[in-house]
Amino acid sequence: MSKPPSLRQLQYFVTLAETQHFRRAAARLRITQPTLTTQVAALEAGLGVQLFERSRAGTALTPEGRELCARARTVLQEVQGLVDQAEAATRGPAGTYRLGVTPTVGPYLLPHVLPAIHRRFDALRFFVREAAPQLLEDDLLGGEHDLILTALPLVAGDPVVVPLFTEPLQLVLPAEHRLAGKQGIQPADLKGEPVLTLEEHHLFHSQIAELCDRFGAHLMRDYEGTSLDTLRQMVVMGMGIAFLPALYVRSEIHQPAELCVTTVEGERMERAYALAWRSTSPSSGLFERLAEELRAQVALQLADTVCLVPRS
């Protein structure tokens, strides 16, 4: 007869599954490796199932372990949701949540909105991690993040998605570029122009590639940047032109003598952002409130830069 596992054992189980290494899992859990080994063995004995394959290369889930790990994550999420709901009933929303954000928007948006959210929900904390959109989606579905703030569209799974705002892309040219002083840049003006962008694993890369196809511009595949700051510096050095998000331009471009920031007439160039979480999350009610607070702060502080998306 199987022995019911403790919540602590389930936490150890899920953490080891995520790290696939006893030493790394023990470090994350802040326990000793022998303690982890003992508790995992006790969990396997109690369930009567081998959860992990152990080898010199590391630790991998067995087929049975993979199935049970998904159930274990759900149990832990439900318990955390119970605790959060109880705390919210007495002193408002509380707890620490893992928020994933794309690096092309997080540093330029969160400083405007998080302070107000912390003031309203003073017992609420966020552990923020940046990653490319595809990785954010994968980690959300895998339980690494509780919610994500990312560019649309989302393609993985079936999460709850609350649209937030659209952000224009602005054309950035070297100060000495032939188009820098031109009034009203037309799409035809960009034909053949070398355009810089981020590495291919970023969603931003594919969006810029589509613009290049539309304008007949040349996407510079031999000079792909690792960050928006890198792109800006490459433009300053005259290596090409770039389309940069408006929030980044607002935050980071303070020396207009080095660069010309403009738009392309008659063209709608923008990115859409949303807050998303698992449809099974026990904190869905709180996340809905957070989404509305985010939208309110964007409308209050950034209406001159981005455009709020109406809720359907």
List the chain domain ranges. Answer: 7-72, 92-165+271-308, 167-270
Between strands 270-277 and 147-151, the pairing is antiparallel
State which residues of the chain have pLDDT below 50.
none
Q: Which CATH superfamily is domain 167-270 in?
A: Periplasmic binding protein-like II (3.40.190.10)
Contact 102, 149 (CB under 8 A): yes
Q: Which CATH superfamily is domain 92-165+271-308 in?
A: Periplasmic binding protein-like II (3.40.190.10)
* pLDDT of amino acid 270: 93
Q: What is the pLDDT of residue 305?
A: 94
- Residue 94 has what pLDDT? 67
Predicted structure pTM score: 0.70
**CA–CA gap between residue 182 and residue 186 (Å, rounded):** 10
Matching fold, domains 7-72 and 167-270: no
**Gap between the Cα atoms of 265 and 278, Å rounded:** 39
Return the pLDDT at 2.
72
- Taking the C-alpha atoms of residue 309 and residue 299, their distance in angstroms, rounded to an integer, is 10
Structure tokens belonging to residue 45: 């004995």
Q: Which CATH architecture has domain 7-72?
A: Orthogonal Bundle (1.10)
Return the pLDDT at 132. Answer: 86
